Amino acid sequence: MKASFALAPALRDAAHAVADVAAGRSLADEIERVMAAPGETPRAVLIDLTHGTLRRYGRVQAIVRELSRRGRPDRLVEALLWCSLYAMESGRYAEYTVVDQAVKACGLLERWVAKGYVNALLRSFVRQRPSLETRMRADAEARYQHPRWWIDTLHRDQPLHWEAILDAGNSHPPMCLRVNQRRTPTDDYQERLAAAGIASRRIADEALLLSQPVPVGRLPAFESGEVSVQDAGAQRAARCLDLASGQRVLDACAAPGGKSAHILESADVALTALDADARRCERVVRNFERLGLRATVCTADCTRLADWWDGVPFERVLADVPCSASGVARRHPDLKWLRRAADLPGFAARQVAILSALWRVLGAGGKLLYVTCSVFVQENEAVIDAFTAQHAPGAQRIALPDGAPAQWLPDAEHDGFYYALLQKPA
C-alpha cells in the first residue's frame, strides 16, 4: 500500500498509545489524547495500528520475547516493535518500509540508542518467520491472541465453540444498521444504500448488514435520524421485551442509548432511561434528538431506588448490565488484556445486585429482560440461576419471544450477547 502519510510519526504515536494500554490505560482515551495533540497521523491510521496491534498482542509480545537478545527493552521501544510487527504482517506496507520507518520512529521517540536493536530485531523477524510460526503455535497466548485465563475460561464454558469465539475476537467486527421504522421502510433504505454504492444484506426486520464498514458520514440521512449503527445482537433487546403501546418501560443502564432508541422506534411507550454517568446520559439525549425521540433521561445508579424511582411500577424493564464485555472484545481490543479473571466474580455480584433492585420496580405480570455482551457463563446462566433460586417461585424464566437461543456467540454477522427474560407473577 502506498501511504500518503509518514509512517514513522504514525508508529511513534501508536507506540505511545499501546505502551499506555500495556500500563493499564484505556485505548479509547489514549487515541483521543494523541489526536488532541498537534500531529500529522490520520485518525484512521492510528486506529488501524493500535487496534491491529492489540488484536495480535499475544503474538507480537511472544515474537519480541523470542527474538530479543538484550532482555526486555524500554517500554516505548517494546511498544514500537509490537506496532511495527503488526504493520509488517498487515500487508499494508512493504517490509523494508516498516523497518526503515521504525528506525526513524526511534528518533522521534528520543530512543536513538535503540535504532540498531530495532533494525536488527525486525530484520531477524523477516528472516526467521517460518521457524517462528512453529514456535508460536506452541504458545497459547501467541496462537490465540488472548490471555491464558480467557482461553481457559472459554474452553470450560464453551467446549464446542471456544476456538471459533477466539477467532472471532481477533477479527474485524461487522457493521450493522438499524433502520428507523418511524421514518422509512427497511427495503426503501436498502435501495438508497445501493444507490450510494453501499452493499448490504437484510438480516432482520430493521437490520441491514453492510458488506464492508463505511464512515457514518456516507450513510444516507444518518444525521436526520433515518438510521443508526447498532450490532444485530444488540437489536434483539427491543424484540425480546414484548413491547406494546402505552407500557411504562425502564432501560436501567441505558447509555449510549441504542437499545432505548430501538424501544422507542418499536412502540409508543413511556420510557425512562437511566445511567450512572452524566456524560453518558448526554450521549443518550443527543441520540434521541437526532432520531426525533422523546423519553425521560435520568442520571442515577439504578440500584439506589430512592434517587430516581417515583414508586410507580414498570411493565417492562431492560437490564443491560455492566459486564466483562467478552462478547464484543473485537471492538475494544485493549479490553481482553486489561481484564483479569478476578474481575468476573465482581461483575457477577454487581449483576445480581442490579437484578434484585430492578425486580422491586417491576409490576405484577411485568417482564424483565437481562442482557450482557458476555460469553462467560459466570455472568450469564450462573447469574440467572442464582437470582431465580433466590426469588423462587416469584421469578419465572420464560422463553424469549424471538425463539433464538439465550447465548449468541460472536460471528460474521453479530457480536456475542446473552439474553434471559424473567416474568413476575400477576
Tell me the catalytic residues: 373
Containing H/E element for 54? helix 43-55
Q: Long-range contact list for 300-306, CB < 8 A, 24+ apart?
A: 300/274, 300/275, 300/276, 301/276, 302/252, 302/253, 302/274, 302/276, 302/354, 302/357, 302/358, 303/353, 303/354, 303/357, 305/357, 305/360, 305/361
Cell numbers representing residue 29 in the block: 482515551
Cα 154 to the chain's mean position, in Å?
18
d(CA 231, CA 327): 12
d(CA 16, CA 11): 9
d(CA 166, CA 174): 16
d(CA 39, CA 16): 13
Helices (H), 158-257: 162-169, 186-195, 236-240
Could you count the other beta carbons within 10 Å of the beta carbon of residue 90? 15
Containing H/E element for 420? strand 417-423
d(CA 338, CA 332): 10
Identify any residues that bridge with 318 across adjacent strands, giving them in sequence order. Answer: 251, 369
Could you count the other beta carbons within 10 Å of the beta carbon of residue 22? 18
d(CA 258, CA 252): 13
Q: Are 305 and 298 within 8 A, CB to CB?
A: no
